[in-house]
Amino acid sequence: MIEAVSIILAYLLGSLSSAILVCRLMGLPDPRGEGSGNPGATNVLRVGGRVAGALTLAGDFLKGTVAVCLALLVGLAPAALGAVGVAAFLGHLYPVFFGFKGGKGVATGLGVLLGWSWSVLVVTVGTWLLVAAVTRISSLSALVAFLLAPVYLWGFTGEPALAVAMAVMTAVTYWRHRGNIRRLLAGEEARIGQKE
């Protein structure tokens, strides 16, 4: 019972859209109708500036971490912790409070990783930063980092349930980034700080 309640609460927490809430509080345009149309930190950075982007990133990240940490507090096993992380991630992608139209989940996924293993988060973010420094393309950085994250999890934690949960999140991330992938292949993807 506690596992089911934790998963539902994680989904609801994930459904709180930091991008939309930050833009409303700061008097900015709805990110769903500006730039890429994606309610995520990268698009808020483009349409609202660094402060709005940073607040959105922090909010999306923290909801993933908080969901997993609450599950840890009640003593859930690794398989249930994996399910809680996926639920928070899916809540961000398909938020019940915002018509099931959410962001792409990268920040929330990284927040989940912090709850699962801080060392895996550090290595995954390091991968993101390395790719971003070389390419200046946020989507490519996320795709590479998420592709390697299940391997990092398995290697650092030895928990196959968490690695499988991360693999599910990675697969969904690739699906949600299919438009970005098409633009990457065509050489048309926007770079960090560039308006689309």
What is the spatial distance between Cα 111 and Cα 70, in angstroms, rounded to a whole number?
A: 13
Identify the weakest region by mean pLDDT among 40-49, 95-104, 122-131, 172-181.
40-49
pLDDT tens digits, one per residue of 88-147? 999 999 999 888 888 888 899 999 999 999 999 999 999 999 999 999 888 899 999 999
Residue (of 65, 38, 63, 64) closest to 53 by Cα position: 38
Three-class DSSP category at 17 = coil
Model-level pTM?
0.89
